[in-house]
Chains A and B, each alone.
Chain A
């Protein structure tokens, strides 16, 4: 068992304000015995009642051979079903549930929606095996995030300050893996406005190889969510956290 390589707070806030979450993404990677061309037809009738707006994503225009060759594209979704509360995206090997930009509804609501989605996916029967389950939070802050974190980037013992930085860490924890991306030169376009600032992008996943999604996924997702939250709050300096008005 690998514990986290840094301390996390004993008490975690239930809520912070202003909430920096741009979006939360729950991702299920899977393999299917069905060719991709059949899958959208199986999904549409199941999801249409809750997710009425169906559209193809730009990646769908790129030939399969090119998508498969590119690590950044191979596991990306190709179609999208948008509903009033969440957006669902599907690809040949991936399903993602995305919360609306800047309107995170809370983990309890995400869980509720996920169990409905997993039920539909299970009914459709195209998932042969799960491959990976992940919970990712993208947080955005105005200004430079680095001085407000307990993590330091330094050269010869002296912290690097005021430079453009993009840092990626991969943190193993037990059977989960977390990938933390920190950048102080991010551009956010939420549809209403475009702004620059810092991003804290934390993706936590578990290699998962099960054919029984309904039974195993909910508990695993809960664990991944807790781990994501522990890492996030473990990174913030207490004085910075205090400015976010934590509610316990």
Chain B
């Protein structure tokens, strides 16, 4: 029996050679276990660009990103973002833009009848903005349903 080489991941066992998964092709990535439905939602509502950006924000923005004060993407903000996304109906043909805020939140921006609409999911609060009716206010993070109802019913 060969001596096992030191593992880079800390796992108690190895699979025999024949059972080891082949390396992932460049253009194929496995969804994180249990998150296939979220991946689908993200792709349906924000398209491949939004999907890719969220993965980037989650993976690559470590504490202190940007000019030194950026925070990592907040799991609380991400939960609220996904709940909002499931409830939201965006105008026909509109794909919102997705951004990472310096506080570790996510921000969606799109237009409705040519006017800006935005919602930011910050770690403890929501920021709502719609130019058309003068909405510019904050809500507690857990009131994402109210935000979805107001901005994209």
**Is any CB of A less than 8 Å from a CB of B in the complex?**
yes
| Cα separation A190 to B3 with both chains bound (whole Å) | 11
| Cα separation A168 to B8 with both chains bound (whole Å) | 21
Check A31–B72 contact: CB distance below 8 A: yes
- Say yes or no: is A49 at the interface (Cβ < 8 Å to chain B): no
Chain A, 199-236, contact with B by CB distance < 8 Å: what is the 0/1 string? Answer: 10100010111110000000000000000000000000
- Say yes or no: is A35 at the interface (Cβ < 8 Å to chain B): yes
Check A199–B13 contact: CB distance below 8 A: yes
- How many positions in chain B have a CB within 8 Å of any CB in the partner chain? 37
Check B74–A72 contact: CB distance below 8 A: no
Check A129–B63 contact: CB distance below 8 A: no
Check A188–B13 contact: CB distance below 8 A: yes
- In the complex, the chain B residue whose C-beta lies closest to that of A22 is B12
Check B75–A129 contact: CB distance below 8 A: yes
Q: Which of B5-27 contact A (CB under 8 A)?
A: 6-16, 18-19, 21
Q: Which of A23, A57, A129 contacts B123 (CB 8 A)?
A: A129
Check B16–A185 contact: CB distance below 8 A: yes
Check A188–B12 contact: CB distance below 8 A: yes
Q: Total number of A-B contacts with CB less than 8 angstroms? A: 125
| Cα separation A188 to B7 with both chains bound (whole Å) | 13
Question: When A71-B30, A209-B78 are in contact, do A164 and B18 touch as well, CB less than 8 Å?
Answer: yes
Residues of B near A101 (CB, < 8 A) are 12
Check B34–A22 contact: CB distance below 8 A: no
Q: Which of A93, A98, A194 contacts B4 (CB 8 A)?
A: A194
- Say yes or no: is B71 at the interface (Cβ < 8 Å to chain A): yes
Question: When A101-B12, A187-B13, A187-B15 are in contact, do A58 and B62 touch as well, CB less than 8 Å?
Answer: no
A140 → chain B closest CB, angstroms: 7
- Say yes or no: is B137 at the interface (Cβ < 8 Å to chain A): no
- In the complex, the chain B residue whose C-beta lies closest to that of A165 is B19
Q: Give the interface SS of chain B, mostly helix, strand, loop or mixed.
A: loop
Interface size class of A (residues with CB under 8 A): 35 or more
Question: When A209-B78, A209-B79 are in contact, do A128 and B71 touch as well, CB less than 8 Å?
Answer: yes
A26 → chain B closest CB, angstroms: 13
Check A32–B63 contact: CB distance below 8 A: yes
- Say yes or no: is A196 at the interface (Cβ < 8 Å to chain B): yes
Q: Which of A124-159 contact B (CB under 8 A)?
A: 128-132, 138, 140
- Say yes or no: is A109 at the interface (Cβ < 8 Å to chain B): no
Residues of A near B132 (CB, < 8 A) are none
- In the complex, the chain B residue whose C-beta lies closest to that of A170 is B33
- Say yes or no: is A172 at the interface (Cβ < 8 Å to chain B): yes
B19 → chain A closest CB, angstroms: 4
| Cα separation A209 to B8 with both chains bound (whole Å) | 28
Check B59–A74 contact: CB distance below 8 A: yes
- In the complex, the chain A residue whose C-beta lies closest to that of B104 is A31
Question: When A71-B30, A179-B34 are in contact, do A186 and B16 touch as well, CB less than 8 Å?
Answer: yes
Chain A, 154-182, contact with B by CB distance < 8 Å: what is the 0/1 string? Answer: 00000000001110101010000101000
Check A130–B75 contact: CB distance below 8 A: yes
Check B63–A33 contact: CB distance below 8 A: yes
Check A31–B34 contact: CB distance below 8 A: no
| Cα separation A168 to B20 with both chains bound (whole Å) | 12
Residues of A near B123 (CB, < 8 A) are 128-129
B8 → chain A closest CB, angstroms: 5
Check B76–A209 contact: CB distance below 8 A: yes
Chain A, 30-42, contact with B by CB distance < 8 Å: what is the 0/1 string? Answer: 0111111000000
Question: When A36-B62, A128-B71, A209-B78 are in contact, do A62 and B16 touch as well, CB less than 8 Å?
Answer: no
17 A-B residue contacts at CB 8 Å? Answer: A31-B104, A33-B72, A35-B64, A36-B62, A58-B6, A59-B8, A68-B60, A71-B30, A73-B8, A76-B10, A77-B10, A164-B18, A168-B33, A186-B16, A189-B3, A194-B3, A196-B16
7 closest cross-chain pairs (CB), A and B? A177-B34, A185-B16, A209-B75, A209-B76, A131-B75, A166-B19, A31-B72
